[in-house]
Amino acid sequence: MEIERSRLTILLNALYDGGEDEFSVRHPAEEVGELLRVQLGEPGKSTVKFTADYGDYANARHAVEREYGSGVSDELPAPRSYCNGLMAGGLIDPANADEIEEFLARYGSPDLTAGHKPVVAGFDTNLLPWRIADVLELQPGPEAMVNGFALATGVRDELDWDQKRSDTGRIESAFGSDFSALWNQPAGSRREGRLGQNYYRNLRDHRYADEVTTDRGDEAIVEGYDTYQNDNRKDVLLFSNDRDFVERARSHRVLAQRVEVPQSLPETTAAAWGEIQDALYTLAVLFGVLELPKVTLYGVWQGKGGQAWEKEALRVDCRSPKIAAPIERDLSIVSSPH
C-alpha cells in the first residue's frame, strides 16, 4: 500500500496499538543497522534516541565502501545528508539555531501598516531538499517572520535528479533483495534533488511565493535576487548552507544568513508524532528502504511516478496482518468522501 507523508501517523498509531510503542528504524545492511529508536508516547511527548550519531554513521558508510565499493556505498546518504534528513523532520535544530533566530528577529516581522517593505524568504539549492521553510518556521501570516517566499529558477534547475539506477545487482548482493526497488529510480544523492524539487513546487504552488527568473550558479542567483528586491520593493532574506554564497549575497546588499548542518547529535530528543512522520518520510527516500517492526518502508520503488512523488508517498509493506488491517481501515476512513 502507499501512504502519503501527511498520513504516516496512521502507521504510527497501528504500531502503537499493536504493542510496538517502542521500535527501531533500521537500514537492512548489517554494517549500518539501527539508526533511530522511537518510543511513542502521547502525540506531543514521544522520545527519539539517535542510535547512530554522525561519527557512527560515517564509520558504517566507510565500512560498506571498504566491503562493496563506492558504487554501493553511494546509495547511502552522506553523513551530512543523514543529519539533514533528521533536521528536515524537526528532530534536530540547525547547529546555529540561536544565530538564525537573532537574524529573523532583526530583519523579519515587518510592520506593513507602518510602511515597512514586505519581507520574503529565499533559499539556496543546498537547503531546498530539507523542508527548510518548515524547519525555520517561516509560515506567512499576519504576525509571521516573512510575508512569503521568492524562489529562484536557477535553484530549481540545479536540483538535478534525472540520473536513474539501471542495475541493482551489486546493491541487492550487499543490502538484500528489497533493494531491487531502486531500479529505474533516482540514484543515490539524486533523490535529494527530487526532494528539493518537490519542496520547491510545494512552496510555489501552495504557499505565497514569487518565482525569480535567474540562470544557474551562485552569482546569477544572487544577482537575480538583488534585482528582484529592487524592482518589487521587497526585502529578501536569503538562506544558504554555503559561506561563500552568503558572503556573495551580502556583497550585493541582499540580507543573507547561513544555516549550519548539525554534525553532532544529542543522545535523545523529545518529538511530536508529526515530526517523527516527517523524519521517516525523508529518511526512507534518502536510504531507499528502511525496516520497522513488522513493516518495511520504501522511499522509492519500481514504477514510482510523478504523482506519488508529488503526494510525498511511501510504499509500506506490512509483514503482519495485525498491522496491515488497522492501517487499511484508517486509510479508507480518511480517504472516503465526506
Confidence of residue 142 (pLDDT cuts 50, 70, 90): low
Nearest-10 crossing angle of helices 218-232, 243-251: 40
Helix runs in the chain, H state only: 9-17, 54-68, 70-73, 79-88, 97-107, 132-135, 153-158, 169-175, 190-206, 218-232, 243-251, 273-287, 306-310, 321-335
Amino acid at 234: K
Helix runs in 164-217, H state only: 169-175, 190-206
Residues 27-69 pLDDT 10s? 999 999 999 999 999 877 899 999 999 999 999 999 999 999 9
How far apart (Å, rounded) are the C-alpha atoms in residues 129 and 150?
16
Structural domain spans, the chain: 2-92+267-335, 97-160+192-258
Candidate from 134-138, 204-208, 310-314 with smallest mean pLDDT? 204-208
pTM here is 0.95
For the record, the C-alpha cell of 123 comes out as: 533559499
Amino acid at 198: N
For the chain, what percent of residues have pLDDT higher than 90?
85
Report the pLDDT averaged over residues 309-335: 91
Provide the pLDDT for residue 115: 83
How far apart (Å, rounded) are the C-alpha atoms in residues 94 and 98?
9
Question: For residue 240, what are the β-bridge partners?
Answer: 258
Provide the pLDDT for residue 112: 83
Residues 118-128 pLDDT 10s? 999 999 999 99
More confident residue, 292 or 337: 292
Provide the pLDDT for residue 338: 57
Provide the pLDDT for residue 335: 78
| Winning range, highest mean pLDDT, from 85-94, 111-120, 161-170 | 85-94
pLDDT mean across residues, the chain: 93
Provide the pLDDT for residue 43: 75
Amino acid at 164: K
Provide the pLDDT for residue 160: 78
Residues 280-291 pLDDT 10s? 999 999 999 999
Provide the pLDDT for residue 146: 93
User: Please, which residues have CB within 8 angstroms of residue 58's CB and are 6 or more apart in sequence?
Assistant: 79
Provide the pLDDT for residue 113: 78
How far apart (Å, rounded) are the C-alpha atoms in residues 42 and 33?
27
- Count of beta carbons in the 10 Å neighbourhood of residue 295: 20
Distance of CA 185 to the CA centre of its chain: 18
* φ/ψ of residue 196, rounded to 5: -65, -40
Report the pLDDT averaged over residues 222-245: 96
Nearest-10 crossing angle of helices 54-68, 79-88: 130
The Cα-based distances of 2 to 11, 39, 146, 309 in angstroms read 11, 24, 34, 11
Report the pLDDT averaged over residues 249-278: 94
* φ/ψ of residue 288, rounded to 5: 90, -55
Provide the pLDDT for residue 89: 94
- The CATH classification of domain 97-160+192-258, taken from the options 3.40.50.720, 3.90.700.10, 3.40.50.1010, 3.40.50.1220: 3.40.50.1010
Nearest-10 crossing angle of helices 190-206, 273-287: 140
